[in-house]
Amino acid sequence: MKRIFISSMLLTLCLIAFGAERKSTVTVHTSEGTSVINRNIYGQFAEHLGTCIYGGLWVGEDSPIPNTNGYRNDVLTALKELHIPVLRWPGGCFADDYHWMDGIGPRDKRPAKVNSTWGGTLEDNSFGTHEFLNLCELLECEPYVSMNIGSGTVRETSEWVEYMTADNGPMAELRHKNGRTNPWKVKFIGVGNESWGCGGSMTPEYYSNEYRRYATYCKNFSGNTLYKIASGASDYDYTWTETLMKNIGNRMDALSLHYYTVLGWNGSKGKATTFTDDDYYWCLGKCLGIEPVIKKHIAIMDRYDAKNNIGLLVDEWGTWWDEEEGTTPGHLFQQNTMRDAFVAALSLNVFHKYSDRIKMCNIAQIANVLQSMILTNDDKMVLTPTYYVFKMYIPHQDATFLPSDIVCDEMQVPNERFQGGRNQEEEPTRTLPMLSATASRDAKGVLHLSLANVDLKQSQTVSVKLEETKAKSVSGTILTSKNIADHNTFKNPDTVKPEQFKGAKVNKKDASVITVTLPAKSIVTLEITTK
């Protein structure tokens, strides 16, 4: 069933007038799973931007804030609970202005520089290669290091790889001198970032040649095998993808894609905590606009790489709002509401569907910047609604994706709300389903189903049908709040947090059916054991 409405106001009026109750069905094809949801889809991103690194992750050994070798203990604990699979660093736009030798050796002797990319603040380089790679070891996650090809050199890039991964040689000796005997394991190497823009303003043809040159000198040392990632397109730039697939081809292991849920790049992006219902629905429509973008980029990749040897990495994604009033311009500090939580859930649900090609995603960013997991202020820390979505979705990591058919109500939302900018499409509206869902089976055979009722007013009764499978028991966790703009603050850190969900029941007459009552504006993850 499909009921199409022009706006959220009309939608609400219709529901009130007719007393409509939302009913949806989700059919999970439990025997059709063929692809694995790569755990790296739950990757994170830490850039030298604002207080993401300094104050967010790193405070130094002499800080009064409790820390382990300079890393905040509260943040370390919170991040470990997320089972972070991979962490991207040092940027972002900062990467192509970063010279790695400035960030090694005694910290009091490292040269400072102005971070001209983000706010013009002083970068003292106290957090460098050792600090980042040691953090990855503490978090037990893979490092993803972005090379500087915008303002750097081939030799600089080559020697950085050698410094990190070689057992012997001049760069290994320099690493020994700086306190690290054994090389690190560094698999993921980004050959530039946004090379069409802040990473060098290159044409795709020129970048293709630069990639081939730089990647040639990124060598495998001491049994460490690099996974080389080309700087891919922004949003709707399909020509960039076509050119790189044609000119680079299998010389790259993966190609990146950046897509933000943003009003536009000129003027106000809107406030993170003050918005209308129509703003909310537009945001989710824009968020889901990533799916046709992914499909079009994948279709191009398929023409050149039918066997899926080259991965697609969405290594920057998330919401982008105006900076909070009173914060430093250029530091991109924004609050994080239940609206952001829905963007996280709906985006992850999309990524799962294309897990045969999508091998990694990195939300922007891990702390204090854009759609972050964590907010800090001096010795205080809060977890965001987005953090809790990632925690609720942990069971999907490395699980087998199970295709699902969803029948639900829909509404139409405007496509774009700004003049100019790079993310324009032809269609004037987008279709926004009132229900989003994703399902997977873990290595132990347990099913997990995540559901998101995006309707702000109406609850939904969802009939979940498990094909060729009978449920034994069901339990769950729910994330919701009184208002969609609710968020956690340093004074009230628990306004939005997960709770036990008791709204799912196995049908007594037919154990292949589970009835779920989803409150309005709620996100739920169910654990389903089977007979």
Would you state the pLDDT for residue 264? 86
Asked if pLDDT for residue 418 goes beyond 70, the answer is no
Q: Which one, of 372, 389, 390, lies nearest residue 381 by Cα?
A: 372
Is residue 478 within a helix (H) or strand (E), and if so which, with residue range?
strand 471-479
Q: How far is CA 364 from CA 184, 261, 371, in A?
A: 25, 11, 6
What does the block give as tokens for 427? 């269609």
pLDDT tens per residue, range 101-136: 999 999 999 999 999 999 999 999 999 999 999 999
Q: How far apart are CA 75 and CA 80, in angstroms?
A: 8
Domains of the chain, each with CATH number or no CATH: 8-33+403-530 (2.60.40.1180), 40-397 (3.20.20.80)
pLDDT tens per residue, range 171-199: 999 999 999 999 999 999 999 999 999 99
Candidates 123, 131, 316, 416; catalytic one: 316
pTM of the model: 0.94
Asked if pLDDT for residue 10 goes beyond 60, the answer is no
Average pLDDT rounded to a whole number, residues 428-433: 90
Number of Cβ within a 10 Å radius of residue 232: 28
pLDDT tens per residue, range 198-231: 999 999 999 999 999 999 999 999 999 999 999 9
Per the prediction, the chain carries an average pLDDT of 93
Looking at 52-120, which runs of residues are DSSP E strands?
67-68, 71-72, 86-89, 113-115
Would you state the pLDDT for residue 265? 87
Asked if 253 and 232 touch (Cβ cutoff 8 Å), the reply is no
Number of Cβ within a 10 Å radius of residue 249: 14
Would you state the pLDDT for residue 15? 43
Q: Which one, of 518, 530, 508, 501, lies nearest residue 457 by Cα?
A: 518
Asked if 133 and 189 touch (Cβ cutoff 8 Å), the reply is no
Would you state the pLDDT for residue 14? 42
Q: What is the DSSP letter of 48?
A: S
Asked if 261 and 283 touch (Cβ cutoff 8 Å), the reply is yes
pLDDT tens per residue, range 17-76: 344 678 999 999 999 999 999 999 999 999 999 999 999 999 999 999 999 999 999 999
pLDDT tens per residue, range 314-333: 999 999 999 999 999 999 99
What does the block give as tokens for 32? 């059709």
Q: How far apart are CA 229 and CA 178, in angstroms?
A: 28
Asked if 5 and 458 touch (Cβ cutoff 8 Å), the reply is no
Would residue 81 show up in a list of annotated catalytic residues for this protein? Answer: no
Would you state the pLDDT for residue 19? 43
Q: What is the DSSP letter of 111?
A: P
Candidates 47, 123, 194, 210; catalytic one: 194
Asked if 463 and 26 touch (Cβ cutoff 8 Å), the reply is yes
pLDDT tens per residue, range 331-370: 999 999 999 999 999 999 999 999 999 999 999 999 999 9
Average pLDDT rounded to a whole number, residues 11-22: 49
Asked if pLDDT for residue 148 goes beyond 90, the answer is yes
Q: Quick one: pLDDT band at residue 417, thresholds 50, 70, 90?
A: low
Would residue 194 show up in a list of annotated catalytic residues for this protein? Answer: yes
Q: Phi and psi of 204, rounded to 5°?
A: -65, -35
